[in-house]
Structure formats: C-alpha cells, structure tokens
Amino acid sequence: MDPSQVEVLHTQNALHKLTVSDLREFIRLKAIQAPSNAKKVELIASVSEFLASEESIETLAQESNTVAVAEEEVPAKDTRTASKNRAGSQVDDTEGSVAAVGRKSRKRGAGAAKDREASGVVLAGEDAQDAVSPQRRSTRSRKDSLSRPAEEPPALSKANEVGEENGRPKRARRQSTGSPETAKKPPPLKRKPKTGVLSLTQAQSTVEVTEVQSDVVDGALVEKKRTKKTTVARGFGLKGDVGKVEISQSEESWSHLVHKKAEPDWIAYNPGLMRPPPPKGPFKKVVGWNVAGLRAVLKLERRWFDEIAEKERPDVICLQETKIQEKDIASVEEGLLPGYHKFWATSSAKLGYSGVALFSKEEPLSVRYGLGIPSLDAEGRLITAEFADFFVVSAYVPNSGDGLKRLEERTQVWDPALAQHLKGLEASKPVVLTGDLNVAHQEIDICNPDGNKRSAGFTVEERESFERLIMANGFVDTFRRQHPKAVGYTYWGYRFNSRASNRGWRLDYFVVSEKLAPLVHDSYTLPNVLGSDHCPVGLIVKT
C-alpha cells in the first residue's frame, strides 16, 4: 500500500467506509487493544488512535500485505477536496476505489450488510432502507459522543462533503440517520425577494491623498502640499431600489464610498486618515452640530455631546435645531459645559421648533440675533458672535419642506438676506459661517443626485441660489477646497437605515471669507459621533 493512501484513509475519515469485519481483522493483526463487543464507532476510534501514534506510515504499508478493494467507486467530482498528509505528499484527487486496511479476506453481500446494521452506523452513501431505528440511533449517538476522538469529524455523505463550488465553500448538510418517514427535513431556506433590494459591490483601492495647507508668511500666501497613499473602500455600485437597502452595518460605514454617480477619483472621507495634526502655533477651533433636539441628546445621548467637548475641546460650539423654548433655557444650562458663555435664539413662532445656540470659552465682543426679517427671526434661526479675529455665525437655514412649499421663501427671501448680512459683517472683519445650510451644493454632496432633483435641499433653485449669493460673493466652502474629491456626508435620514449604508447628504458646512481661507488648517466632519441624524463638523483656523 502506498503510504499516502493509509494517511488519506485517516485524514479523510474513510475508515467509516470499512465494514466491522475489516476493522476487527486489522485490530487483530496489529494487536490493538479494543473491547471484543465494541461497536463500529469504538473500533474506528481505536484504529484512529493507532494511526495517529508514533508508528511510521512506512511500517504500516509494509505490514499491510493483503489489501482488499472496495467494490464501489467514488466519483471524482465528489472527492476533489485535497489534503496534505504527514509525510508531506499532496493528494490531488482521491478518485477511484478506497482501500480497506489489513484484511486477508473480504466478505461481501448479506454478511457485510449485517455487520453494518449491527454496528449502529450508516455508512456514507448507504440507502435509507439500511438506516438504524430511532431508538438505536439515540443509543449510538450517546456512545458516539463518548468514544469518538475530539479531532475526528462526523461522517458526511459523498454528495455533502465540504468542498468548493464556484469559488465559494459548499455548505455541508447533516447526514440523515433515520428512515424516510422519521428523518427530519431541514427548514426551507428563506430567500430575500430580488425586487426592491439594493446591491452593493465594493473594491479596495490604494489612492494618493493630497492635503493642501495654506499659510501667510511675510504677507505672502504660501501653500504646502503633502501627499500620502492610503487604502480606501471605493467603487460601490448601487443597483435596485435605494429605499430598501439590506446590508450589514459596520462601525465605520461612513468610511465606504457609496454614491450612485461616483467618479473614478472620488474617495470616501475618513477623518482617521485625512485629518492633519494640530498646528504648532495658536489657533481657534469651532464645532457645529445640528442636534435635532438638544434636550433629547442630553437625556439619551449625553455621552456624544460630552465626548465632543472633551476630545475636540472647541473654543466655540454652534448648535442648530435645538428645539429649546425660552422658559427651558435655565434648566438646560444647569451643569452644561461649565466655563462656556452661552447664547440662545429660540422660536416664538412655533414652540419646540428650530432654534440655534452658540457657546464660547471666550466672551464675544458682541452678539446679535436674526437677520432683521421678523417672520424668519421669530423662528430663532441665526446668532452672530463677534471675536477679535473674525465673526462666527451659527445658522439653521429653512428647509423648503414637503412639496417645496417654502422654496420661494427660502431662495427669494432668506438667501438674499443672509448674503447681505455676511457681506455687511465682512466689511469690518472676516466671517465664519457654520450650520445646517440645508443644501447639497454639488452632485458629490449627495448619494443619489438623479433621484433627488426635486427634493428639498437639492433642487436647481436652491443650489443656484447658494452658488450665486454665497459662493460667488467671495466665500469659500472650506471642506470642498481642502478635499475636492472626498465624499463626506453629514446627514443620514432615519428611514431606510441610511446611516448604516452611508447613503447621505452633505448639508452642514463651514463657509469662510476668502481672505480667511489661507488660515484654515483643517475642515473636517465627525461621522462617528451619533445622537442625531446629522454629525458634527469642525474647523481649525490659525490665529
């Protein structure tokens, strides 16, 4: 016998294919200790222990002078799982017959079948009519658990052996050990409907990320570029109904690029990889966040609010959609960020609606509220704080609403008034505007641009108004200037599990005066911060 064949018998569990007579004959020839009335599983355990002993494979091959060949041939397609033996040889295909170990003579027919029945084990490939009764199967299973070696797997039928199919591992099915009447059928597979399910395909790419940092040296603008390579997940292709996505959620779902019209050079914004270290000189840090109800965040998600204050340590915090009423300010302020000066703009037109706030470590030189438009100012949408180096404006721009019922008011009243307000401030010193500006400026700023052309926040009217009145008036979108090809969403709707699949919008901004742009060290998002359907955004400005 070829040494590798003996090893294959052991490693591939082929001992189960032998009859009780074969096993007893081998045990007798090799003087293996085994009970005289042992069942087949016990005999197999004894032979397995012997084959795993220190006795060499070569010695076994020399002493196995008489080898009987099984009558049944194993189809090649069912035995293509290769395994390495201890002697180092590779078994590529165990096609053909399986050798029985150490038997001088072989009995076939009714005698062999009787031995199999007495052993209480159904061999792989046996017909269902030879299966043992449920009572004997129960007894056998108890003995099997006691006598089977820990490393020996249970026998699998030839058709169910674990292999590979189409490049994926085949699922091994449990072997039936009962009659057709008593055998328990596996539950039917629950298949997900093909319609209405979003399919995602991802590719890993190594890209070069170029960070541009600007500084003013001796009155001249100096730009420093730093290029580094990083591996990012990109190239997600979306198919099907985006309203019914079913994918597993990861802790960093935002690090995967998900976009229906992604360009080849777009990447997902990852603050863990793309934020520069803090500047060496003095700077101010401003953080903005639409909390979608401050009292709810403080009650249910307080840890996220405290984490921003502890880890980011911002000089100024701007909040939007606080939904705080005037009568509740005192109770909310109690124990909240001690050491900060706090300013609130609340809604008197509709209670528990809108509202913005501004917290600052340094007391502002001046604070003003609103735009001078009574109908909009009554909703508490804007606070302006003046500091020594620049103004900080916390704004919650009106949403055009369902059916775009406020679209005209938004583009014809609010936007022009905001642009005029910013230009007036800029006449004395630079301006930093932050908040939920309720517009995805470009297609890169929204996951599904084609499907949202008439959705509030991505209409042509809103985008053109934002471009004409804000961007074209000498203001800079700091995140887009620093990361021109990065997809970094800041809002994910609660419906359809959008955050888990990173199908979002970039609605939260830091917009600054052009003269202040060279001093911007970093403009970033914090997508890992939960607690709201928006994530915080941050800005670091050298002073």
Report how far residue 129's alpha carbon sits from residue 131's, in angstroms, rounded to the nearest whole number.
6
Q: What is the pLDDT of residue 43?
A: 81
**Which residue is it, tokens 């777009």?**
266
Report how far residue 523's alpha carbon sits from residue 541's, in angstroms, rounded to the nearest whole number.
9
- Identify whether the C-beta of residue 391 lies closer than 8 Å to the C-beta of residue 431: yes
Query: How many residues comprise the chain?
Result: 543
Report how far residue 371's alpha carbon sits from residue 349's, in angstroms, rounded to the nearest whole number.
15
Active site residue 436: yes
Question: Is 373 domain-assigned?
Answer: yes
Amino acid at 447: C
Question: Is 446 domain-assigned?
Answer: yes
Which of 22, 37, 67 is the last residue before a domain boundary? Answer: 67
Q: What is the pLDDT of residue 39?
A: 77
Which has the closest alpha carbon to 355: 407, 302, 319, 306? 319
Q: Which residues are annotated as a binding site?
A: 290, 321, 436, 438, 533-534
Active site residue 144: no
Residue-level pLDDT, tens digit, the chain, 543 residues: 443 444 445 544 567 767 888 788 777 777 777 777 777 877 887 777 777 664 444 444 444 443 333 333 333 434 333 333 333 333 333 333 334 444 443 444 444 444 444 444 333 333 333 333 444 444 444 344 444 444 444 444 333 333 443 444 444 444 444 444 444 555 554 444 433 333 333 334 444 545 555 555 665 656 666 665 544 433 333 333 333 333 333 458 899 999 999 999 999 999 999 999 999 999 999 999 999 999 999 988 888 888 888 999 999 999 999 999 999 999 999 889 999 999 999 999 999 999 999 999 999 999 999 999 898 899 999 999 999 999 999 999 999 999 999 999 999 999 999 999 999 999 999 999 999 999 999 999 999 999 999 999 999 999 999 999 888 889 999 999 999 999 999 999 988 889 999 999 999 999 999 999 999 999 999 999 989 999 999 999 999
Active-site option among 10, 16, 259, 534: 534
Q: Which of 320-332 are b and which e, b meaning 16 or more Cβ less than 10 Å from the residue's Cβ?
A: bbbbbbeebeeeb
Question: Is 125 domain-assigned?
Answer: no
Cα torsion 524, 527, 529, 530: sign: positive
- Residue 59 φ then ψ, to 5°: -65, -40
Helix, strand or coil, per DSSP, at residue 540: strand
Question: Is 488 domain-assigned?
Answer: yes
Q: Which domain holds residue 433?
A: 267-542
H or E stretch covering 300: helix 294-300
Active site residue 396: yes
Which of 35, 52, 67 is the last residue before a domain boundary? Answer: 67
Q: How many domains does the chain have?
A: 2
Q: What is the pLDDT of residue 13?
A: 56
Active-site option among 396, 489, 491, 524: 396
Which of 18, 36, 67 is the last residue before a domain boundary? Answer: 67
Judged on CB neighbours under 10 Å (0-12, 13-18, 19+), 495 is exposed
Pairing of strands 486-487, 267-268: parallel
Residues 6+ apart with CB under 8 A from 438: 397, 398, 399, 400, 410, 456, 457, 462, 507
Question: Is 75 domain-assigned?
Answer: no
User: What is the pTM assigned to this prediction?
Assistant: 0.58
**DSSP-assigned letter for residue 160:** G
Judged on CB neighbours under 10 Å (0-12, 13-18, 19+), 211 is middle
Q: In the sheet that 391-396 helps form, which strands lie side by side, from edge to edge?
A: 366-369, 382-386, 391-396, 431-436, 508-513, 475-477
Q: Which residues are annotated as a binding site for Mg(2+)?
A: 290, 321, 436, 438, 533-534
Q: What is the pLDDT of residue 33?
A: 73
Question: Is 218 domain-assigned?
Answer: no
Question: Is 355 domain-assigned?
Answer: yes
Report how far residue 45's alpha carbon sits from residue 198's, in angstroms, rounded to the nearest whole number.
50
Active-site option among 436, 445, 477, 508: 436
Roughly how many angstroms between the first and final C-alpha of the chain, as a whole number? 84
Question: Is 183 domain-assigned?
Answer: no
Domain of residue 422, CATH code: 3.60.10.10
